Chains A and B, each alone.
Chain A
Amino acid sequence: MHEHTLAELSGLLNTGKISSVELTTLYLDRIGRYNPQLNCYISITPELALEQARLADSLISKRLHGPLTGIPVAHKDIFCMDGIRTSCGSKMLDNFISPYNATVVEKLNSAGMVTLGKTNMDEFAMGSSTETSYYGPSTNPWDIGRVPGGSSGGSGSAVAARLVPAATGTDTGGSIRQPASLCGITGLKPTYGLVSRYGMIAFASSLDQGGPMTQTAEDAALMLNAMAGFDVRDSTSLQREPVDYTARLADSLSGLKIGIPAQYFSDALDDQTASRIQEAIKQFEQCGARIVDIDLPNTHLSIPAYYVIAPAEASSNLSRFDGVRFGYRCADPDDLLDLYCRSRGEGFGREVKRRIMIGTYVLSAGYFDAYYLKAQKVRRLIRDDFQRALKQVDVIMGPTTPMPAFRLNELMDDPVSMYLSDIFTVSVNLAGLPAISIPAGFSSQLPVGLQIIGDYFSESRLLNIAHQYQQRTDWHSQIPGGYA
């Protein structure tokens, strides 16, 4: 049963072939069996899940259900859930029982989804491997000696191993797309402002965006239908007419103009990854798409700009963790300053402290113009590159990551190399654009992701393109050995 997509499970629930309680029990059993080796869940919520499943079954029996009713889901542990620990992968919030629901959680609850638990992640979403999690790293089901990517690596690993049909993630510099790529699943980062950030613990507020992590583009469309929408409680939420993201999945790709940036195919790219991406592009040509060479000349500046802007915003956002109202508090503080410094020093892990320090440095007196304002100017250059390119073409394609999943501990002592693994994803966040990563084959038995970037609010088109590719390939339906 676990091999089915969300859309297929929805059909089976609708026709009574299986009940939500049966489905939920089946996935909870798989979690019990495989989570010890994958560590993709920080918390498992069986009682809540079964209660939600019983409610879903009753709605289905009364024919009061929607396409997501009764489908199990897992939330990245960055989304607040009322009455449930929301740790954000940190010792700082290990004892934090959220007093409210994130809007995304509220919306998926209302859609009738069944929450199996909270997934592992890099601490405060700062990382590309889940190795900065206070709860230890998740592993990649394709090779448990390797990382699943990050920061939404627990969601990536759980969906890839079919320990849940779909999960939520968040993407600040690639944190949905990079783990989707490394785990061989579909991950969509929507346009900035499309999905509410309310109750999604803030890392870098001008970059953070939630989105679905699923087996297929069709499943991502079903999830996005429920996740997207204006929220008065998020000051950057966009007011737009609701869209049915499944409506255009079947559209033809004839005449589609695909831009290929030379900058995404440098010598640093893994050979087999490059071949898989070229093969995928040929597949699109066979569907009637036209390939256009484009130029994104400031791509190399995206990592430097990101590592000013994101830490600056993070150092400000994370100043709220002071050991006073919630979260970790140090033992026996001497005075108030000692309470702040030790609660933060002991409660945050190394990478989080590193980024707070960088942010503090670039925002300090005398450096603000040279670093922060400079980075924001470069941010405009990067966005303008995309705007120019997207006047010429409909979408941009390239690899999601320069190489497939790396080994556990391989990059942990070298933060700069770890940061550079996000070279193809961060520029999309700086520009606020939507992008999707879909499975496009393998490099030495490890999944390779194809990234498709579109203009603002082009999610329907991105999902259509991804769906058409998935109609002609079966990379997305391959399950890692040992989890089949």
Chain B
Amino acid sequence: MSLESADIKTLARLARLALNDDEIEEYQHTLGNILGLVEQLQAVQTGAITPLAHPLEISARLRTDEITEIDQRTKFQQIAPETAKGFYLVPRVIE
């Protein structure tokens, strides 16, 4: 299975990954090989089989809607790239 460089660029955009030309070329080959490996699944008859999402088929546990976390903003923001007045800073979105 082969992928075009345009396919890789579309995937990179969807995945929010900036790739250089070298990476785009490499991924055309390696993603193609991996998808070729995965292609074996298409030969399996799976018509009536229910997909298995959780190995023990247990659904997520529910809990009452109570506040269980304490405020740790100061601690959490110590490791943030850029903050001001308790907010996380990103490049300007609205002019």
Contact = CB atoms under 8 A, between A and B. Distances in A.
A300 interface: yes
Contact of A357 (B15, B54, B61, B72): B15
B17 A301 contact: no
Given A236-B54, A308-B41, A357-B12, 18 more contacts: A95-B79, A192-B55, A206-B53, A304-B37, A304-B40, A323-B81, A326-B81, A333-B91, A335-B93, A339-B90, A339-B91, A344-B18, A350-B23, A357-B8, A374-B42, A415-B34, A433-B55, A456-B56
Given A333-B91, A416-B34, A378 B44 contact: yes
B33 A336 contact: no
Contacts of A364: 11, 14
B78 to A, nearest CB: 8
B51 to A, nearest CB: 3
B46 to A, nearest CB: 4
Contacts of A206: 53-55
A376 B52 contact: yes
A391 to B, nearest CB: 17
Nearest to B61: A235
Contacts of A158: none
Nearest to A358: B34
A348 B17 contact: yes
B80 A335 contact: no
20 contacts: A191-B56, A206-B54, A235-B60, A236-B60, A303-B37, A308-B41, A315-B15, A324-B88, A335-B91, A337-B16, A346-B18, A350-B23, A353-B23, A357-B11, A361-B31, A371-B38, A377-B44, A377-B46, A380-B51, A415-B34
Contact of B55 (A95, A359, A432): A432
A350 B26 contact: yes
Interface residues of B, number: 51
Nearest to A365: B14
B16 A341 contact: yes
A342 interface: yes
A382 to B, nearest CB: 9
B19 A353 contact: yes
B75 interface: yes
B59 to A, nearest CB: 10
Contact of B44 (A236, A301, A336, A371): A301
A91 B30 CA distance: 22
B55 A431 contact: yes
Contact of B79 (A303, A326, A348): A326
Contacts of B54: 206, 236, 432
A419 interface: yes
A356 B49 contact: no
Interface residues of A, number: 74
A415 B15 contact: no
Interface of A: 95-97, 99, 191-193, 206, 232, 235-236, 238, 298, 300-301, 303-305, 307-308, 315, 319, 322-327, 329, 333-342, 344-346, 348, 350, 353-354, 356-362, 364, 370-371, 373-381, 383, 415-416, 419, 430-433, 456
Interface string B56-92: 1010110100000000100110111110000010111
A362 to B, nearest CB: 8
A221 B63 CA distance: 32
B35 A345 contact: no
A51 to B, nearest CB: 21
B91 A334 contact: yes
Given A345-B18, A360-B14, A380 B60 contact: no
A334 B92 CA distance: 9
A373 B63 CA distance: 29
B26 to A, nearest CB: 7
Question: Which residue, B38, B49, B72, has most C-beta atoms of chain A within 10 A?
Answer: B38
Lowest 4 CB-CB distances: which A-B pairs, in order?
A432-B55, A345-B18, A376-B51, A329-B81
A307 B38 contact: yes
A346 B16 CA distance: 11
A392 to B, nearest CB: 20
